[in-house]
C-alpha cells in the first residue's frame, strides 16, 4: 500500500473521525506487516483490544497496539521500530518514531504527518514480563491492504 491508496481509503470515510481511524488502521497494518517480516512475532504476542481487532476482524477502530513479551532472547524493539519507520517511508509517508524502556512496560510511538491537518499516530506498548507461548495463537491477517501473520492472545494475565 502507498500513500495515495491510504488517502483513497480515507476519502470513503463519512466523518473526520472515521477518516483519522481509517488512516491509523492502514498505518497499523503496515507496522504489523513489518514486524511479521522481521520475525518479531517469535518474541511478541499481540494482546488486549488490538489482539481482538486483528485476530477477529472486528470493525472497531483501535488506537494502540498492545503486546506481551514471549521470549526475551532476541528482543530488539528499537530495531523493529526502525524497520517500521523504513516501511512507512517506502510507502511515501513521513513517519516519526520514538521509544522508551520503562520498568515493566516499554512504549513506542509512531506518528505520521502530512496525511491530515493533524498528526496520525498510535502507541505501541510491550509488557516485558514474559507470558507462556502456549497461551498464544497464530493467525494470518488480510487487513487494510496488507497481509501478515500475528501471534496473539485475547487474555494472558489474571
The pTM is what?
0.93
pLDDT for position 117: 85
d(CA 64, CA 103): 19
| CB 15 within 8 Å of CB 133 | no
pLDDT for position 155: 64
pLDDT-above-70 percentage for the chain: 97
Is the pLDDT score of 46 beyond 50? yes
Cβ within 8 Å of residue 35, ≥6 positions away: 41, 44, 80, 83, 84, 148
pLDDT for position 158: 37
The CA-based angle 20-21-24, given to 5 degrees, is 85
Amino acid at each position: 500500500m502507498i500513500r495515495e491508496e491510504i488517502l483513497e481509503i480515507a476519502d470513503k470515510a463519512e466523518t473526520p473521525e472515521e477518516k483519522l481511524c481509517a488512516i491509523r488502521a492502514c498505518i497499523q497494518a503496515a507496522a504489523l506487516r513489518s514486524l511479521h517480516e522481521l520475525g518479531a512475532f517469535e518474541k511478541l504476542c499481540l494482546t488486549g483490544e488490538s489482539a481482538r481487532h486483528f485476530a477477529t476482524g472486528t470493525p472497531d477502530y483501535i488506537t494502540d497496539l498492545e503486546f506481551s513479551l514471549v521470549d526475551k532472547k532476541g528482543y530488539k524493539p528499537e530495531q523493529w521500530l526502525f524497520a517500521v519507520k523504513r516501511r512507512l517511508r517506502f510507502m511515501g509517508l513521513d513517519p516519526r518514531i520514538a521509544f522508551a524502556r520503562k520498568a515493566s512496560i516499554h512504549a513506542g510511538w509512531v506518528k505520521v504527518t502530512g496525511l491530515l491537518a493533524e498528526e496520525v499516530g498510535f502507541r505501541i506498548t510491550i509488557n516485558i514480563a514474559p507470558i507462556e507461548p502456549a497461551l498464544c495463537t497464530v493467525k494470518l491477517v488480510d487487513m487494510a491492504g496488507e497481509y501478515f501473520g500475528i501471534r496473539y492472545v485475547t487474555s494472558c494475565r489474571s
